[in-house]
Every structure is written in structure tokens, then in C-alpha cells.
Amino acid sequence: MLALPTLRQLRYLVAVVERCHFGQAAEACHVSQSTLSAGIQELEDLLGAPLLERTRRSVVPTPLGREIAARAEVLLKGAEDLVDLAAAARDPVSGPLRLGVIPTIGPFLVPRAMPGLRAQFPKLKLYLREDQTARLLAQLQAGTLDAVVLALPYPSEDLETVEIARDRFFVVCPPGHRLCRAGAARAADMALEDLLLLEDGHCLRDHALAACALEGRKRNAGFQGTSLHTLVQMVANGLGVTLLPEMALEAGILRGLDLSALPLEGEAPYRRIGLAWRRSSGRKETFRRLAAALQAELARDTPAAAA
């Protein structure tokens, strides 16, 4: 019978290829360096080919080593999904769950939703990671995250998503600004304004431009915020106006500032908030229950965005 690599051997190889350092890889795998080195040697003997180039000062994966490590990540993720499937069958909302959240949602959703989630799912242990969408989805595909809260639509493959809320946009400006006169801002007026946006890489930037039908136009390249809180401070200092999601306004992002929040005229534009997970995951029931809980929390009455 053909001998096959073990998951333990493959995990050791992936750890070394990722870090190019035996000591750091052993620490990540919670084993001694000699145990990790012996496991990789066993794998090389089994395959009959070197997977790492070793020197006294460094370790470098061979081309074959990189290819096998990449395929091993897929196998390891599949094995984890099998374990998750069994755990979910016993109790779908228990155990650890690694949840990614984008920066334009996390600071406003997490404080609002966590108390209710803890009460509803006392056995679920949520570990949160905040990052931009592309990096979170890369971690989701790699298996280091279980699910991601993001703004839709976002191009992705092999993922399932469910919408949990629709988050309206408001124009934020000083109270004496000309946009305040009408009580609602028109897209045509917004085209004439110094519109402050988040820097490239934040999907909210594109959603804000789409809300005002300004896609493709260059907007204040010299004044780009790294967060919604930064944008608010820039508006308060007279550098322009911005668009904020209702979720941020309800969380009190304008508290203590002399600023107004105006709706956009006509059908209120919004961004869609969704929960995404791998199509191959064995915890689909977990994610559906989590999405339903988040939907219910975000549907609760909250103070309207005040002008």
C-alpha cells in the first residue's frame, strides 16, 4: 500500500515555508524544533525529494517544496472543515469562531451587536480581526478566518453570502454649509463639492462615489482619510464634506462636533452589509444563525441620524 504524508508533516512544511525559519515554525506548531525538523525529514524521505534548502543561517523552500506546501494548505483546510462539520452537527453555535470585520463596519457594529450575541450564543467564542476586505477574504480562503462581515457587492469566488442590513448614506457638512439649506443634498450639488473620501483600498470609497453617481471622478487626492473618524475631523476643520453610513452616525461618530448629517435627495442610496463564508465550510448552519442574529440586532430601532 502506498505510504501517504500525514497532516502533521504537511502542517510542519506549511509553517516553515510561510516563515522560512525553523524556530518560528516550531513555535507556531507548538512543538520543539527537533520534532518539527524530524517531521519534515520524514516527509522528504517519503516523497524522495528535497523540499527545503538548509544552511546554517537560513532555510529556503525548493520549487517543489513551495508547490507541495500550497497544495497542503488546501488539504489542511479540508481536514479542518471536516472537524468543523462534526462539531457543528453537535452544536452549531458553540466553540471558537474567527470572524473578520472591515474597518468601516467593525467599530460601529461590534459594540452594538456583541452583548446580544453573547446572550443568545453563550457557548460561542468569537475572535475578531479587523482589516480591509481583500486581506480578510484572502485569510478566509486560506482558512485562518471562518467568516467575514463586509460590504456587498464584492467580487469573490467560492463564497456564500447573506445580506444582514442596508446601511444608508448621509452627507456630513458644517451646519452653515449651502447644502443644509434644502434639507437634503442632491447628487448634482455633490459633484461641485470638495468630497473627502477614504484612501484607496477601502470599499466604502467606491460605494460613496456610487451613491452620488461620481464613479470615475478624481476626488481630493491630497485629502484622503484612513478612517471614518479621520474624515469627520477633516470636515470639522473646513476641508470639505463627506459621506458617512448611517451605522456610524447611530454609533455617535459626530458626538461633540458641530456638524450636520443630511440625507441624499430621492431614493436613499445605501451599502449592503453581508456575512460571507467559504462554500465548502461545514459550519453553514452556524453562519446562518449568526447572520440572523445580526439581522435582528441591526433591525432594532435606533436614534435617527441627527442633523
Task: Profile the chain (307 residues) by mean pLDDT over runs of 10 residues.
Answer: 89 94 93 95 94 86 94 89 77 89 94 93 93 93 92 84 94 88 78 81 78 57 75 92 93 94 85 93 91 92 46
Same domain assignment for residues 32 and 126: no
Q: What is the pTM of this model?
A: 0.72
CA 182 vs. chain centroid, Å, equals 37
> Residue 1: inside a domain, yes or no?
no
Same domain assignment for residues 170 and 291: yes
Q: Please, what is the angle between helix 7-19 and helix 33-47, to 10°?
A: 110
Same domain assignment for residues 100 and 52: no
pLDDT in tens, 284-305: 999 999 999 999 998 876 544 4
Give the residue from 242, 254, 280, 264 showing the smallest Cα distance to 183.
Answer: 264
- End-of-domain residue from the set 70, 86, 102: 86
Residue 181 pLDDT:
78
CA 91/CA 289 separation, integer angstroms: 12
CA 212/CA 195 separation, integer angstroms: 10
Same domain assignment for residues 113 and 202: yes
Residue 305 pLDDT:
41
Residue 200 pLDDT:
73
Same domain assignment for residues 192 and 134: yes
Q: Is the Cβ–Cβ distance between 197 and 225 less than 8 Å?
A: yes
- End-of-domain residue from the set 63, 86, 109: 86
Residue 161 pLDDT:
94
Same domain assignment for residues 105 and 141: yes
Q: Please, what is the angle between helix 7-19 and helix 22-29, to 10°?
A: 130
Same domain assignment for residues 13 and 129: no
Whether omega before 245 lies within 30 degrees of 0, making that bond cis, reads no
Residue 306 pLDDT:
39
Same domain assignment for residues 143 and 214: yes
> Residue 220: inside a domain, yes or no?
yes
Same domain assignment for residues 17 and 139: no
> Residue 287: inside a domain, yes or no?
yes
Report the C-alpha dihedral over residues 66, 69, 74, 79, rounded to 10 degrees: 180
Give the residue from 289, 281, 277, 278 showing the smallest Cα distance to 83.
Answer: 281
Q: Specify the CATH number for the domain of residue 168.
A: 3.40.190.290
Residues in the chain: 307
Residue 221 pLDDT:
44
pLDDT in tens, 165-214: 999 999 999 988 888 877 788 877 777 788 888 887 678 888 877 776 66
Same domain assignment for residues 50 and 128: no
> Residue 180: inside a domain, yes or no?
yes
**Structural domain span for residue 127:** 93-307
CA 143 vs. chain centroid, Å, equals 13
Q: Is the Cβ–Cβ distance between 182 and 113 less than 8 Å?
A: no
Same domain assignment for residues 171 and 74: no
φ, ψ for residue 5, nearest 5 deg: -65, 150
Same domain assignment for residues 175 and 275: yes
For the chain, the domain total comes to: 2
SS3 content of the chain, % helix, strand, coil (to 5): 45, 20, 35
What is 157-179 written as a DSSP string? SSEEEEEEEEEEEEEEE-TTSGG
- End-of-domain residue from the set 86, 106, 129: 86
> Residue 42: inside a domain, yes or no?
yes
**E-state strands within the chain:** 52-54, 59-61, 95-101, 124-130, 147-152, 159-173, 195-198, 224-225, 241-245, 260-263, 270-278
> Residue 2: inside a domain, yes or no?
no
